[in-house]
Amino acid sequence: MLTKPEIDDRIIVQEHFAQEHLPSALSEEEVEAYTQRIQTLLKEKDAVLVAHYYTDPMVQALAEKTGGFVSDSLEMARFGARHPASTLIVAGVRFMGETAKILSPEKRILMPTLEATCSLDLGCPVQEFSAFCDAHPDHEVVVYANTSAAVKARADWVVTSSIALQVVEHLSDQGKKIIWAPDKHLGSYVQKQTGADMLLWDGACIVHEEFKAKGLRDLKQVYPDAGILVHPESPEAVIELADAVGSTSQLIRAAKELPNEMFIVATDRGIFYKMQQAAPEKTFIEAPTGGSGATCRSCAHCPWMAMNGLENIAAALEQGRDEVTVDPELIEKARLPLQRMLDFQAG
Ligand code: 13P
Ligand code: SF4
3-state SS track over the chain: CCCHHHHHHHHHHHHHHHHHCCCCCCCHHHHHHHHHHHHHHHHHCCEEEEEECCCCHHHHHHHHHCCCEEECHHHHHHHHHHCCCCEEEEECCHHHHHHHHHHCCCCEEECCCCCCCCHHHHCCCHHHHHHHHHCCCCEEEEEECCCCHHHHHCCCEEECCCCHHHHHHHHHHCCCEEEEECEHHHHHHHHHHHCCCEEECCECCCCHHHCCHHHHHHHHHHCCCCEEEECCCCCHHHHCCCCEECCHHHHHHHHHHCCCCEEEEECCHHHHHHHHHHCCCCEEEECCCCCCCCCCCCCCCCCCHHHCCHHHHHHHHHHCCCECCCCHHHHHHHHHHHHHHHHHHHC
Q: Is the pLDDT of residue 243 over 60?
A: yes
Looking from the CA of residue 233, the nearest atom of ligand 2 is 7
Ligand 1: does its nearest atom lie under 6 Å from the Cβ of 206? no
Q: How confident is the model at residue 3 (pLDDT cuts 50, 70, 90)?
A: low
Q: What is the pLDDT of residue 5?
A: 57
Q: What is the pTM of this model?
A: 0.91
Ligand 1 in reach of 160 Cβ (< 6 A): yes
Q: What's the burial of 265, exposed, middle or buried (CB within 10 Å: 0-12/13-18/19+)? A: buried
Q: From 86, 91, 122, select the one nearest 107 (Cα to Cα).
A: 86
Nearest Cα residue to atom 2 of ligand 1: 73
Alpha carbon distance 243, 298 (integer Å): 23
Give the pLDDT confidence of 43-100 residue by residue, as tens digits: 999 999 999 999 999 999 999 999 999 999 889 988 999 999 999 999 999 999 999 9
Mean pLDDT along residues 172-183: 98
Which of 241-255, 293-307, 326-340 is predicted with the least confidence, judged by mean pLDDT?
Answer: 293-307
Distance (Å, rounded) from C-alpha 16 to C-alpha 332? 34
Q: What pLDDT score does 269 carry?
A: 93
Q: Is the pLDDT of residue 295 over 90?
A: no
Query: Which pLDDT score, from 0 to 100, does residue 223 have?
Result: 94
What b/e string do you get for 30-58 counting C-beta neighbours within 10 Å, with b at 16 or more?
Answer: eeeebbeebeebbeebebbbbbbbbbbeb
Ligand 2 atom closest to the Cα of residue 205 is 2
For residues 144-173, give the mean pLDDT.
97
Residue 212 pLDDT > 80: yes
Mean pLDDT of the chain: 92
- Percentage of the residues of the chain whose pLDDT score is greater than 70: 91
Question: What confidence tier does 16 reach under pLDDT thresholds 50, 70, 90?
Answer: very low
The pLDDT of residue 77: 83
Residue 306 has pLDDT above 90, yes or no: yes
| Mean pLDDT for the stretch of residues 124-129 | 97
Give the position, in ligand 1's atom list, of the atom nearest the Cα of 250.
3
pLDDT at 347: 85
| 132-141, 165-174, 207-216, 236-245: least confidently modelled range | 207-216
- The protein residue with its alpha carbon nearest to ligand 2, atom 3, reads 302
pLDDT score recorded for residue 293: 56
Q: Is the CB of 72 under 6 A from ligand 1?
A: yes
* pLDDT computed for residue 153 by the predictor: 98
pLDDT at 17: 47
Please tell me the distance between residue 161's alpha carbon and the centre of ligand 1 in angstroms. Answer: 7
